Amino acid sequence: MFRLLTAAAAVASFVSAGPISKREWNGPVLPDNLPDPSLIQVGDTWYAFTTGPGPLGNLAPAIPYATSTDFNTWTFNGGNQVLSRLGNWANPSAVWAPDVLQLPNGTFVMYYTAEGKGPAGDSRVYHCVGAATSDNVAGPYEPVDNALACPISQGGAIDPSGFVDSDGTIYVVYKVDGNNIGSGGNCNNGNGKVPTPIMLQKLMADGITLDGPPTTILDHDSADGPLVEAPSIVKKDNSYFLFFSSNCYSGPDYDTSYAVSTNGITNGGKQYAKAQAPNAPLLKTGTGSLYAPGGLTIAKDGVHVVFHADKGTTADTRQLYVGTVNLDTTKNIVTI
């Protein structure tokens, strides 16, 4: 009994006081390690699926997630039953950066990252992006056995995020993991030589079949350090807002920023326009008490967001934060 009370008290101490009454961020909302959160609302319940522990051998890897009905008080779930198994394309591994969208007929599609199969004799670890489907938001998801994106020669692919456009067309955005094949320095790409493009991939109505080749909509430049990653896209009026993280996740420069297209979802084949200071970065070390805030996902309502920030100054425990943002489509800026 004493232990139960202690545990309850410990959880309660992480629940902040009062509902979010104005546009702001709030957290950590749980003490747990919940990196790279996604966000979807189903009925009255918000779900934030996150990167899991691993590898877990032949067991289905865990996908921890948090739920909330008021976007203020969150409940942790270990996520052992979320994914029935990895797609055949993957090596046994953890799952990173899962993201869920719902098709018009109610079916849920989960996009996820796991370890891909590199060339024979190559000891480097590559990651690729796959999909899985379920009738229930919390799973169990059944995987598609082919990868959605697995550009091994470019370093692999990570951080998928689904998006349903206003005309119903389904897309997934992801990062080509170029810094995985870089050499030296910050996040293995200190000289910034290897591209880490954010790709926009159109999908068929099933949300799991590719429709044509992907389009590059962002890449890193000198302000981003070695990479851009963790894309999440939303549309408001005629503006597409692409949130992303830049710099290395394990250091103090990791941050959250955004870029905008007012010329359609592909921006006519050009990269989205990055927001500039003082409007960006949106979140960085020193914003409030945040350290290395990243992995932001915006809900399809264009208001609610989740992201992680380090507990302390290492990436060992990346805790879940929530917030609301304002997308200003007259100036094409985001404020919190």
- Contact residues for ligand NAG, defined by CB under 6 A: 103, 105, 107, 205-206
Nearer to ligand NAG, 91 or 107 (CB): 107
Q: How far is the CB of 133 from ligand NAG (least distance, A)?
A: 7
Measure the CA dihedral 87/208/101/324, to 10°. Answer: 90
How far apart (Å, rounded) are the C-alpha atoms in residues 224 and 240? 20
Measure the CA dihedral 89/95/99/103, to 10°. Answer: 40
Q: How far is the CB of 207 from ligand NAG (least distance, A)?
A: 7
Nearer to ligand NAG, 107 or 287 (CB): 107
Q: How far is the CB of 90 from ligand NAG (least distance, A)?
A: 21
Rg for the chain, CA atoms, rounded: 19
Nearer to ligand NAG, 206 or 219 (CB): 206
Q: Which of 178, 198, 174 shows the shortest CA–CA distance to 188? A: 178
> Coil, strand or helix: which one is 256?
strand
Buried b (16+ CB within 10 A) or exposed e, 117-156: ebeeeeeeebbbbbbbbbeebbbebebbeebbbbbbebbb
Helix (H) / strand (E) element for 172: namely strand 170-176
Q: How far is the CB of 32 from ligand NAG (least distance, A)?
A: 32
Q: How far is the CB of 121 from ligand NAG (least distance, A)?
A: 38
| Encoded amino acid at 262, one letter | T
Q: How far is the CB of 205 from ligand NAG (least distance, A)?
A: 5
Alpha helices per DSSP H over the chain:
2-12
How far apart (Å, rounded) are the C-alpha atoms in residues 111 and 91? 16
Q: Which of 282, 317, 285 shows the shortest CA–CA distance to 296? A: 282
Nearer to ligand NAG, 105 or 289 (CB): 105
Q: How far is the CB of 277 from ligand NAG (least distance, A)?
A: 43
Nearer to ligand NAG, 104 or 213 (CB): 104
Nearer to ligand NAG, 134 or 285 (CB): 134
Nearer to ligand NAG, 197 or 207 (CB): 207
